[in-house]
């Protein structure tokens, strides 16, 4: 965890963002929960508990800045915005499997874009988003069969 925290702080410095107590605490919270996406409302509530004078705008602005510099990944599902600590600073373009029972996030090692690019020879693809949803092996072993949306 210390290595990841150091890497994130280096990225902040490289992007001329100050390392405040609040940003440090936010990074630690995200690192502690890095195996799952966490609802932004939950992050906001945690930060405002730790720093009672902190505004909602400050929490959301910091998360946006973290996303812009590649420290945080964002996911929006059913109008809920969720964030998680970046899986891999060296390969920021990647995709995920997300367990709909426990919320565990597993990084996928390949991108399916070559498959789609071949089917669209006359088109210029300017971006994409790709995630798989289902039940992870641990949850299946515990007897979970149906998919339900995780409430983080």
For residue 116, the tally of other CB atoms under 10 A from its CB is: 13
Q: How far apart are CA 76 and CA 73, in angstroms?
A: 10
Q: How far apart are CA 152 and CA 149, in angstroms?
A: 9
Check whether 123 is labelled as a binding-site residue. no
Q: How far apart are CA 2 and CA 31, in angstroms?
A: 9
For residue 68, the tally of other CB atoms under 10 A from its CB is: 11
Q: Which candidate, 4, 11, 58, places its Cα nearest to that of 28?
A: 4
Check whether 111 is labelled as a binding-site residue. no
Q: Do 149 and 99 touch, CB atoms closer than 8 A?
A: no
Check whether 95 is labelled as a binding-site residue. no
Check whether 91 is labelled as a binding-site residue. no
**What residues are designated binding site?**
93, 99, 102, 128, 136, 139
Annotated binding site for Fe cation: 93, 128
Question: Would you list which residues are annotated within the binding site for Zn(2+)?
Answer: 99, 102, 136, 139
């Amino acid at each position: 965890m210390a290595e990841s925290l150091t890497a994130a702080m280096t990225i902040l410095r490289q992007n001329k963002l100050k390392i405040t107590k609040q940003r440090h605490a936010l990074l630690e919270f995200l690192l502690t929960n890095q195996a799952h996406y966490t609802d932004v409302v939950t992050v906001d509530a945690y930060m405002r508990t730790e720093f009672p004078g902190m505004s909602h705008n400050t929490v959301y602005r910091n998360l946006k800045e973290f996303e812009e510099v590649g420290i945080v990944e964002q996911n929006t599902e059913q109008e809920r915005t969720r964030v998680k600590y970046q899986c891999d600073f060296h390969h920021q373009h990647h995709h995920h499997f997300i367990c709909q029972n426990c919320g565990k996030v597993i990084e996928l090692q390949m991108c399916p874009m070559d498959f789609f690019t071949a089917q669209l020879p006359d088109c210029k693809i300017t971006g994409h988003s790709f995630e798989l949803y289902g039940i992870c092996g641990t949850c299946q072993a515990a007897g979970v069969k149906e998919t339900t949306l995780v409430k983080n």
